[in-house]
Amino acid sequence: MIGVFDSGVGGLTAVSAFDRLLPQCDIVYFGDTARVPYGTKSKAVIEKYAFQDCRFMLSEGVKAILAACGTVSSNCLDELKEALEVPVTGVVEPAAKKAYETAARSNRTIAVLGTSATVRSGAYEREIRKYGDGTEIISIACPLFVSLVENGRVGADDEIANIAVREYLAPIIPISPSAVILGCTHYPLLSEVIAKYLPESALINASEEAVRSLCSLVGEDDSVCGRSGARRFYVSDDPEGFAESGRAFLGHDISDRVNYVNIEEF
């Protein structure tokens, strides 16, 4: 069984990727809907929340953990890996690798869209630089994107979504980067809007790349993945609202599998 956690509903993009790539894998998902967003918090608070989330995952018996939250992956993944006894993976390294490979085939320009904390950490830049120099990297904090997704404002014709996306992307629209990393699990839900302003750019879904990486590591290992394809969902606030959003992310009803957990107990 694999645990997937995020600050809210955005990590369901990772669950959707599991549905396509490793459907037999058993998944426990936690969305910290009471404390979303993580991206505006300090590193100390992000780390505190991440450890609470992981302790809950472990109490559910998971054998590996995917930190589907870009903010956690950028700020405290190493601390989680060092402290926990199960494998922990994040979203930064796989997305950075994919973006570098994509940019190398074109104009060698990469844009990173992330939360304020993710951009402040410089994690994507450091990871991309490991593959070599000569690539221009432009990082843009897009703090309103999480709120747009959490409130369902994601349609290609949504006026508010278009205003926010157009304003944030203004510095890179003339450049048309080869690759644009959607460095928060919420951001892929805005892909249609983002693509309107960057039609020539490859949009890199960080959570999907992370799931691909994890699948290559665990493969068909039943001792880690399980084999029933079970999905259990937990949230720290508003299970009904989460279930409603979950239908948009996953394409089916999950209301009978969403439960509340008091994350402060962990």
Q: Is 184 a catalytic residue?
A: yes
Give the pTM. Answer: 0.86
| Set 25, 54, 76, 184: catalytic member | 184
Q: How far apart are the first and last CA of the chain?
A: 20
Element of type H or E holding 149 = helix 144-150
Domain 92-206 has CATH 3.40.50.720: no
Instruction: Report the C-alpha gap between 96 and 237 in whole angstroms.
Output: 32
Based on the residue annotation, tell me whether 69 is a catalytic residue of this protein: yes
Whether the Cβ atoms of residue 89 and residue 194 lie closer than 8 Å to each other: no
Taken in order 196, 169, 172, 204, is the CA torsion positive or negative? negative
Residue ranges per structural domain of the chain: 2-90+208-265, 92-206
Catalytic one among 69, 76, 142, 225? 69
pLDDT given for residue 83 in this prediction: 97
**What is the pLDDT at residue 176?**
95
Cα(34)–Cα(56) distance, integer angstroms:
15
User: What residues of the chain score a pLDDT lower than 50?
Assistant: none
Report how far residue 119's alpha carbon sits from residue 12's, in angstroms, rounded to the nearest whole number. 22
pLDDT reported for residue 226 = 80
Q: What is the pLDDT of residue 150?
A: 83
Amino acid 210: pLDDT: 92
Q: What is the pLDDT of residue 220?
A: 62
Class at the top of the CATH hierarchy for domain 2-90+208-265 = alpha beta
Report the pLDDT value the prediction gives residue 22, as an integer from 0 to 100. Answer: 87
Q: Is 33 within 8 Å of 255 (Cβ atoms)?
A: no
